[in-house]
């Protein structure tokens, strides 16, 4: 096998230290190589000393295995003066029975010397900072939703069924009722009269639902949950402002993504933060879909396909695409809605949503590559593409209902 990098290093990183294996040509036997493995700490000074050590060894490639977040200080500092690639742990597994830190470092160095390691995508610093912001917002939004769920469970313990009548207990009406409960108001009629807007049409149902046994113990927990909810809401607001500032260089891409059905501003910001908005890093739309984890996997043996589950991908990007697909499936007279309805009948809603996610990420790759807005094919695309099939399907459905159908084409119709 050809050697592409005669002087290559492999790093197996843990929380406290890293094993660095330097693979260099042997001076005694031509065509053979020697390895030298050393241990370095994970502090900044130790990483800088490791960089000097690799530079002195004239290493042309450094391979780092992506281990949690421990690879970051090594990658950022070494990449300033060395050619460093980050390897996906699933793609550089060591041989069975040889799992030690030292052997893993030597294995990485050997794979890198032969060019058998595919580098993972590591964005530039502005995109990394944008990622930190959007991921923090996503996590806080989830935590805020969990707090609302805890509050709902606490109300169930009191016998109050507010969530059964009001769709959002954290809305204007729900908050007013919760605040009144905390301040010792227990009369269901007075509480129900705090409803606003359309919810006032359900005052009788609210009066019945707000009858329960709400004690001081529940008031203490409710106050705690509401304060925590408001604190997270304020933090999310500050993150929104900071993300808005960080999105300034990516405004053209953000405007393009806003034309896709199902994608709102928050989802578009996550997509740009995770992909970097630069599609040149991905060889094709299929490559991007595979990296995002929204394309079927392949496991074929003896001519039989054993599984088609989607592969693991970027969880934040996959979550954003899931929200976009869920919204696109409910838009009217669009290609994405037609695709969802067409697939959900025979493959189920979950697989249909993944297919819509794949369509969205494919469109995004072409849009950002060619710098063009989204062009919808409309909801009649599949019918116009195969009108005979659509006619047969309609006739079959009517026959199953007991009707006999005769087709008379309209003159002049295409």
* Residue keyed to tokens 């806080």: 140
Residue 148: how many CB atoms within 10 A of its CB?
17
How does DSSP assign 119-148, residue by residue? BPP---HHHHHHHHHHHHHHHHHHHHHHHH
Element (H, E) at 271: helix 265-275
Q: Do the beta carbons of residue 253 and residue 270 sit within 8 Å?
A: no
The C-alpha angle 67, 70, 71, rounded to 5 degrees, equals 70
**What is the Cα–Cα distance from 307 to 299, expressed in whole angstroms?**
6
Mean pLDDT by 10 residues, the chain (414 residues): 85 90 84 87 92 91 88 90 87 74 87 87 89 95 94 93 90 92 91 90 91 92 95 96 92 91 92 90 89 78 71 86 92 90 87 92 94 88 81 85 80 59
**What is the Cα–Cα distance from 313 to 321, expressed in whole angstroms?**
12
**What is the Cα–Cα distance from 136 to 275, expressed in whole angstroms?**
17
What's the token pair of residue 413?
């119709």
Q: Do the beta carbons of residue 361 and residue 285 sit within 8 Å?
A: yes
Q: Do the beta carbons of residue 203 and residue 193 sit within 8 Å?
A: yes
- 37 forms bridges with which residues in the sheet? 21
| pTM, two decimal places | 0.84
**What is the Cα–Cα distance from 412 to 406, expressed in whole angstroms?**
19
Phi first, then psi: give them for residue 360, nearest 5 degrees.
-65, -45
Task: Output DSSP code: residue 93.
Answer: P
Burial letters 160-171, b for 16+ CB under 10 A, else e:
bbbbebbeebbe
**What is the Cα–Cα distance from 311 to 299, expressed in whole angstroms?**
11
State the pLDDT at residue 117.
86
Question: What Rg do the C-alpha atoms of the chain give, in angstroms?
Answer: 29
Q: Do the beta carbons of residue 105 and residue 37 sit within 8 Å?
A: yes
**What is the Cα–Cα distance from 76 to 88, expressed in whole angstroms?**
17
* Residue keyed to tokens 């953000």: 254
**What is the Cα–Cα distance from 321 to 356, expressed in whole angstroms?**
9
**What is the Cα–Cα distance from 169 to 39, expressed in whole angstroms?**
56
Q: Which domains, from first to last, does the chain contain? A: 8-113 (3.30.420.10), 126-246 (1.10.287), 250-370 (no CATH), 386-414 (no CATH)
Q: Which whole-number Å values give the CA distances from 292 to 264, 362, 385, in the listed order?
A: 19, 11, 29
Q: Do the beta carbons of residue 11 and residue 108 sit within 8 Å?
A: yes
Provide the sign of the torsion angle of the four alpha carbons 210, 220, 183, 176, taken in this order: negative
């Amino acid at each position: 096998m050809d050697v592409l990098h005669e002087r290559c290093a492999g790093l197996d990183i843990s929380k406290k230290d890293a094993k660095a294996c330097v693979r260099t040509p042997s001076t005694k036997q031509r065509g053979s190589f020697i390895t030298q493995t050393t241990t370095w700490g994970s502090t900044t000074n130790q990483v800088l000393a490791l960089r000097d050590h690799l530079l002195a060894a004239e290493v042309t490639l450094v391979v780092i295995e992506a281990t949690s977040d421990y690879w970051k200080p090594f990658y950022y500092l070494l990449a300033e003066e060395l050619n460093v690639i980050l390897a996906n742990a699933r793609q550089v597994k060591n041989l069975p029975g040889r799992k030690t830190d030292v052997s893993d470092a030597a294995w990485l160095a050997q794979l890198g010397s032969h060019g058998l390691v595919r580098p993972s995508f590591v964005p530039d610093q502005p995109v990394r900072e944008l990622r930190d912001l959007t991921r923090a917002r996503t996590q806080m939004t989830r935590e805020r939703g969990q707090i609302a769920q805890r509050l709902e469970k606490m109300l169930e313990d009191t016998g109050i069924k507010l969530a059964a009548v009001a769709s959002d207990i954290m809305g204007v009406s729900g908050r007013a009722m919760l605040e009144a409960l905390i301040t010792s108001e227990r009369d269901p009629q007075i509480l129900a009269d705090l409803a606003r807007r359309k919810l006032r049409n359900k005052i009788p149902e609210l009066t019945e639902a707000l009858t329960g046994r709400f004690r001081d113990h529940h008031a203490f927990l409710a106050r705690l949950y509401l304060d925590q909810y408001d604190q997270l809401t304020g933090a999310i607001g500050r993150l929104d402002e900071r993300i808005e500032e960080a999105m300034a260089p990516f405004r053209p891409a953000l405007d393009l993504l806003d034309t896709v059905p199902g994608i709102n501003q928050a989802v578009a910001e996550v997509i740009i933060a995770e992909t970097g908005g630069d599609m040149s890093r991905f060889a094709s739309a299929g490559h991007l879909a595979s990296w995002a984890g929204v394309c079927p996997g392949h496991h074929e043996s003896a001519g039989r396909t054993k599984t088609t589950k989607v592969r693991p991908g970027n969880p934040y990007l996959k979550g954003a695409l899931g929200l976009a697909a869920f919204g696109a499936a409910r838009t009217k007279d669009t290609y994405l809605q037609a695709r969802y309805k067409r697939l959900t009948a025979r493959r189920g809603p979950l697989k249909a949503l993944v297919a819509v996610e794949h369509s969205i990420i494919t469109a995004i790759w072409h849009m950002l590559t060619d710098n063009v807005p989204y062009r919808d094919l409309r909801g009649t695309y599949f019918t116009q593409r195969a009108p005979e099939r659509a006619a047969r399907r309609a006739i079959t459905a009517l026959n199953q209902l007991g009707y006999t159908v005769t087709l008379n084409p309209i003159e002049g119709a295409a």
